[in-house]
Amino acid sequence: MPTGDYTTINGRAEASFIEKKSEFIGYIKHTETDEEAVDFINEIRSMHRKATHNVYAYILRNGSITRYSDDGEPQGTAGVPVFEVLRKEGLTDVCCVVTRYFGGILLGGGGLVRAYSHSAKIAVDASERMIMCSCYPMEITADYNLYGRLTNILPEFEVKITDTVFETEVTVKLLCKEHLADMLTEKLIDISCGKAVVKKGKLSFENFA
Domains contained in the chain, CATH given: 6-126 (3.30.230.30), 132-207 (3.30.70.240)
φ/ψ region of 98 (left if φ > 0, alpha if ψ in -120 to 50, else beta) reads: beta
d(CA 133, CA 177): 7
**pLDDT per residue as tens, the chain (209 positions):** 555 799 999 999 999 999 999 999 999 999 999 999 999 999 999 999 999 999 999 999 988 999 999 999 999 999 999 999 999 999 999 999 999 999 999 999 999 999 999 999 999 999 999 999 999 999 999 999 999 999 999 999 999 999 999 999 999 999 999 999 999 999 999 999 999 999 999 999 999 88
CA-CA distance, 31 to 46, in Å (whole number)? 18
Which helix (H) or strand (E) segment holds residue 53: the answer is strand 53-60
Whole-angstrom distance, CA of residue 104 vs CA of residue 149:
68
What H or E segment, with its residue span, contains residue 144? helix 144-153
Q: What is the DSSP letter of 159?
A: -
Residue 65 one-letter amino acid = I
CB–CB of 118/84 below 8 Å?
no
Q: How far apart are CA 83 and CA 64, in angstroms?
A: 14
Type and span of the H or E element at 96: strand 94-101
Other Cβ atoms less than 10 A from the Cβ of 196: the count is 23
Cross-strand partners of 200: 138
Q: What are the distances in angstroms from CA 5 to CA 10, 63, 97, 169, 202?
A: 16, 15, 25, 34, 16
